[in-house]
A = this chain, B = another copy of it.
Amino acid sequence: MLLTTRALDTKIPAHDRVYRRLRTRIMHGDLPPGQALTIRGIGNEYEVSMTPAREAVRRLAAEGALTMSASGRISTPELSNERIEELAALRALIEVELASRALPRAHLALIERLQVTNGAIAEAVAHRDAVSYIRTNLEFHRTLYLRAQAPAMLAMAETVWLQMGPTMRALYGRLRRTEPPQFHRLIIAALRAGDEPGLRLAVRSDVTQGLRMLAS
């Protein structure tokens, strides 16, 4: 029997494929803030018709990853400073809780994985690669939070990341530094020591740290 490109074809719907790929690009900062998109353009890029492209856009708009003007035009969000502050506060609230819940379950293998990821972050910083930086940084946080066994909270945190994606790219793009995030080391140290107050402070500091770049 002849099989298609993949054995055991999982048969993912087209709208889901388009959604996932677009979502990844937005979350990682592959698109700048205010970038205009069209349904026909998306459909053309992913070789699907307007229908699944429209559903992917609608889904992303519902999550705040895309904004729609009154006339229905689609673009990545341009966040005001007030909204960035709000989203950072949400990150602090949710991610501190996630880290706290992950702490009792964080064994040595997890901490070592975090250190490896932290090395990848340092490499992205050294190469001035904004997209790689954002991707590995989110991977660091997600690796930790997955241990919290709290899928609804993690989904909320990822929604916030998604909304900040294009803006993060713009912020880190104007940042010119060579050292990796120092608070990640504090997070790892607190995990090793089982120090919950220290962990909460370290996560909060790491999450709200990017806010200082707004003063530039």
List residues of chain A with CB under 8 Å of any chain B CB: 13, 15, 51, 54-55, 58-59, 61-64, 72, 83, 86-87, 89-90, 93-94, 97, 150-153, 155-156, 159, 163
C-alpha spacing A54/B52, complex, angstroms: 11
C-alpha spacing A23/B83, complex, angstroms: 24
C-alpha spacing A146/B93, complex, angstroms: 19
Nearest-neighbour CB distance to chain B for A89, whole angstroms, equals 7
Residues of B within 8 A of A15 (CB): 58
Lowest 8 A-B CB distances belong to which pairs?
A62-B62, A86-B152, A59-B62, A93-B93, A55-B58, A86-B150, A58-B58, A58-B59
Question: Knowing that A58-B59, A89-B153 are A-B contacts, what are 18 other residue pairs whose CB atoms are under 8 Å apart, sorted by A's residue number?
Answer: A13-B72, A15-B58, A55-B55, A59-B61, A62-B62, A62-B63, A64-B152, A64-B155, A86-B151, A86-B152, A86-B153, A87-B152, A89-B97, A90-B94, A90-B152, A152-B163, A156-B156, A156-B159
C-alpha spacing A90/B101, complex, angstroms: 13
Residues of B within 8 A of A89 (CB): 97, 153
Closest to A149 in B: B82
C-alpha spacing A151/B86, complex, angstroms: 8
Residues of B within 8 A of A54 (CB): 55
C-alpha spacing A72/B153, complex, angstroms: 24
Tell me if B97 and A93 are in contact (CB < 8 A): yes
Residues of B within 8 A of A13 (CB): 72
C-alpha spacing A163/B151, complex, angstroms: 13
C-alpha spacing A89/B61, complex, angstroms: 26
A93 in complex: contacting residue of B55, B94, B155, CB < 8 Å: B94
Tell me if A83 and B152 are in contact (CB < 8 A): yes
C-alpha spacing A93/B64, complex, angstroms: 20
A156 in complex: contacting residue of B62, B72, B83, B90, CB < 8 Å: B90
Residues of B within 8 A of A87 (CB): 152
Tell me if A90 and B58 are in contact (CB < 8 A): no
Residues of B within 8 A of A159 (CB): 156
